[in-house]
Structure 1
Amino acid sequence: MDLPLNTRPNERMNDLLQRTPDDWRRLGGLDTAEEIQHQPAIWRALADELGAQRARIESFLGDWLADPGRRVILTGAGSSSYIGEIAADELDSAWPAQVRAIASTSLLTHPALYLDAERPTLLVSFARSGNSPESLAAVELVRRNVGDTRFLNITCNADGDLARQGEDRDDTLNLLMPDGSCDRGFAMTSSFSAMLLAVLAVLGRDAWDTRVQQIAQLAQHAEIALQDWAPAVAALARQPFERIVYLGSGPLEALAKEAALKVLELTSGRVLALANTCLGFRHGPKSVLDRQSLVVVFRSGATIAQPYDQDLLDELRRDQVAASVLAVGADHGDQARPDFAAPPLPFSDAWLAPLWLLMAQQFALHKSAALGLTPDNPFPDGTVNRVVQGVTIHS
């Protein structure tokens, strides 16, 4: 049974996302709540770690990204694949080398479409545990089928199979995320944001110090957002929405996919969640809306995208088909203030994605609790698992 939210303002600062730690423990959601809340600390630790690892990382990458004859594949399964989707286009536009996001699940089923035996390839694998069969098989697939290969494993688990198999190999660099990033809960939260910021920083083209400082700046704003947004997000999750639609343009489309997946996972599929782009939503998917629907738009910071986002927000509010239509993003002052807002930051949409995701992670957590589920393990029957099971790798 759900427990009452603490709404007394003088106690909020001592609470964990609007509940006490004891309440979350009784609800079976303490791990997930802590892992959402501690992300700013994880990001700061990541910035420190990247600073310490700079020479090792730069030595491994060399001039790979500067060579148009080479390619980089960002890969992972599930949430990990969305990390690559958020980052890929920004990195591809920054470097002569081709950068693509290809899910490991697609690499395994259609390797002939994605791999070029003659083109040197750097495979960047994102893995929370490093034990999923697709992650391990993707590395071996690329190693067998591409002549000149390198492997960058961005993982949260030093003891995972991916990290262990990459140890002491000249063609592999294991980049471990800070302690605490390997979520104990079912859903990827701090692991997702840490690995996303890591790849943006490691493969970015701005000065190294600038990239590391951006992580620290985001951590500062994340602390404020977690505190300021918490009461409204908790109240929103108590409303009886049956359909959640997340929308985002450009890199934020993949953020919308991750936000929708968090709802599906933590509500054990009881709440339908969809993702799309702001312009694409009108082309059929809009028909999903009814009076039990919530629409959340991740507003882009790109100047050309902003009016498109606002046009759709205005349209959906005029239609009054959905129960609620909300926006998450920077408050630029020249348009309607987002419902969940942060000050304008001179960062790209890909870099800001972890900040906006804090709203969606909290919502999914509170919605799980409101439904009487256990957020740390929403599938006690084992039909869906923290580390995927039941996958047979075929040659």
Structure 2
Amino acid sequence: MIASSIPAFEHERSTLLFSAEQLAQFGAQWTAKEISQQPKMWRQVSDEHRNKAGMSTWLSTILAKPQLRIILTGAGTSAYIGDALAAHLQQHLPLVTQRVEAISTTDLVSHPALYLSPKIPTLLISYGRSGNSPESMAAVALVEQLVDDCYHLAITCNGQGQLAQYCTDKPHCYLYKLPDETHDVSFAMTSSFTCMYLATLLIFSPNTEALNQICVMAETILSSHLAEIRAQAELACQRIVFLGGGPLKAIAQEAALKYLELTAGQIVSAFESPLGFRHGPKSLVDFNTQVLVMVSSGAYSRQYDVDLIKELKRDNKALSILTLSESQLLNTNVLEEVWLGLPFILWCQVLAIYKAIQLGVSPDNPCPTGQVNRVVQGVNLYPLNQG
């Protein structure tokens, strides 16, 4: 067992097994709070969603359009919400002629002509923790400029942000404001990511039983698995790979980004699907590499995950092979992967904060020199000349 550089601390008022004093010392107060509050926030988002009756009325008219196109957009972590949910939402649209696509604001802004169609009615669903990222408003403006029949649904944690202000009191826009507590103060998006993700599920495919189960799973992680996750973080890895299939591929991508951000790039992180991993990326596995496989709940899809896990064990090259499954947390295999993504990413967030603390990196501000920032800076926006 490798000696831990993280001091042990257990107390009924601790957060992620640390006291308030320890978290202040590590520069981890906000990140720890925002990770830990997620089950509570998920329930609050669900409760507040019941009071948004006006949104259903507003959305029903748009969803009656036979050729409707829905674009899920954001940048970085916010973009991965759309990547995880697009295929699932497609199955819940009222008309087979409608479609859902995930296109990041960074792609929409740099290449609008490739992605926007003037004659197709379009609902742009924009995700933004602050709503102040430069690409967020640029994407909205480009859709307004290039699409004849457009609508905007802003899902944001900041009612004072530019995105929220734009979507207030305009008949073709709707502001879906999340609780103030989800507007993460820390550098990395944690509860803001999962709550914007959950809001989308509540809008298009609500499932009360699934919500209750994922809250229980998250609470189980925070009450019974922290020591296990901390032990995983204490392994002296130089690389880590997150693998997931279907919607869990985007969750794996977000997990890799969270790990990279919170460790200030000291640990190289990657992601793929279990099937895609063999097609080249598997070559990065060596004795300094951790692999974490997010196991699908569906029996058919799970076969491919299990095959790869067995193969990695036979190879005997990885530092460790970790698995994360519904059965570990709930002793069932019934939830759709879009719901499993929420407790699974919480597990990965905890893993990342423990690693950051072990490395001596402040999770709240892992890049104090400013090469990367909480709200992206340094983006020049250019007018689109349609001529």
Whether the TM-score (by the shorter chain) exceeds 0.5 is: yes
Partner residue of 2:362 out of 374, 380, 393: 374
Counterpart Cα distance in 1 of 2:50 and 2:224: 30
RMSD: 1.5
The answer to whether the 8 Å contact 2:326/2:340 transfers is no
Q: Paired residue for 1:393? A: 381
Corresponding residue SS for 1:279: helix
Letter in 1 for 2:283: S
**May I ask how many residue pairs the two structures share in their alignment?**
377
Q: Is 1:6 paired with 2:35?
A: no
Structure 1 residue 12: Cα displacement: 4.8
Structure 1 residue 118: Cα displacement: 0.3
Structure 1 residue 93: Cα displacement: 2.0
Counterpart Cα distance in 1 of 2:349 and 2:28: 12
After superposition, give the CA deviation of every residue in 1:259-304 in whole Å (9 maximum; x if it has no partner): 0000110111110000001001001100001111000001111222
Counterpart Cα distance in 1 of 2:64 and 2:276: 34
Counterpart Cα distance in 2 of 1:316 and 1:152: 43
Q: Paired residue for 1:78? A: 76
Q: Paired residue for 1:254? A: 250
Q: Paired residue for 1:335? A: none
| Distance 1:213-1:157 versus aligned 2 partners, 3 A rule | farther
Counterpart Cα distance in 2 of 1:285 and 1:66: 43
Counterpart Cα distance in 2 of 1:65 and 1:250: 25
Counterpart Cα distance in 1 of 2:281 and 2:330: 29
Letter in 2 for 1:83: I
Counterpart Cα distance in 2 of 1:200 and 1:66: 19
Corresponding residue SS for 1:89: helix
Comparing 67-76 and 181-190, the one that deviates more: 67-76
Letter in 2 for 1:358: L
Letter in 2 for 1:224: T
| Distance 1:64-1:304 versus aligned 2 partners, 3 A rule | farther
Structure 1 residue 212: Cα displacement: 4.6
Counterpart Cα distance in 2 of 1:73 and 1:216: 28
Q: Paired residue for 1:334? A: none
Comparing 66-75 and 306-315, the one that deviates more: 66-75
Counterpart Cα distance in 2 of 1:5 and 1:70: 54
Counterpart Cα distance in 2 of 1:229 and 1:147: 51
Structure 1 residue 225: Cα displacement: 1.9
Letter in 1 for 2:335: F
Residues 102-117 of structure 1 aligned to structure 2 (within 5 Å): 102-117=103-118
Counterpart Cα distance in 2 of 1:304 and 1:3: 41
Q: Paired residue for 2:88? A: 90
| Distance 1:188-1:287 versus aligned 2 partners, 3 A rule | same
Structure 1 residue 22: Cα displacement: 1.4
Q: Paired residue for 2:283? A: 287
Counterpart Cα distance in 1 of 2:171 and 2:64: 21
Q: Paired residue for 1:142? A: 143
Structure 1 residue 203: Cα displacement: 1.8
Counterpart Cα distance in 2 of 1:273 and 1:191: 22
Corresponding residue SS for 2:271: strand
Residue ranges of structure 1 left out of the alignment (5+ in a row): 205-209, 332-337
The answer to whether the 8 Å contact 1:71/1:122 transfers is yes
Residues 1-395 of structure 1 aligned to structure 2 (within 5 Å): 4-6=6-8, 11-53=10-52, 55-65=53-63, 67-95=65-93, 96=95, 97-204=98-205, 211-212=207-208, 214-331=210-327, 338=328, 341-344=329-332, 346-395=334-383
| Distance 1:272-1:194 versus aligned 2 partners, 3 A rule | same
Comparing 149-158 and 64-73, the one that deviates more: 64-73
After superposition, give the CA deviation of every residue in 1:123-182 in whole Å (9 maximum; x if it has no partner): 000000000000111001101100001100000001111101211111111101112101
The answer to whether the 8 Å contact 1:256/1:275 transfers is yes
Counterpart Cα distance in 2 of 1:15 and 1:231: 13
Counterpart Cα distance in 1 of 2:297 and 2:317: 27
Percentage identity across aligned positions?
42
Counterpart Cα distance in 1 of 2:12 and 2:316: 36
Corresponding residue SS for 2:153: strand
Letter in 2 for 1:361: Q
Structure 1 residue 56: Cα displacement: 1.0
The answer to whether the 8 Å contact 1:185/1:376 transfers is yes
The answer to whether the 8 Å contact 2:6/2:358 transfers is no
TM-score (norm 2): 0.94
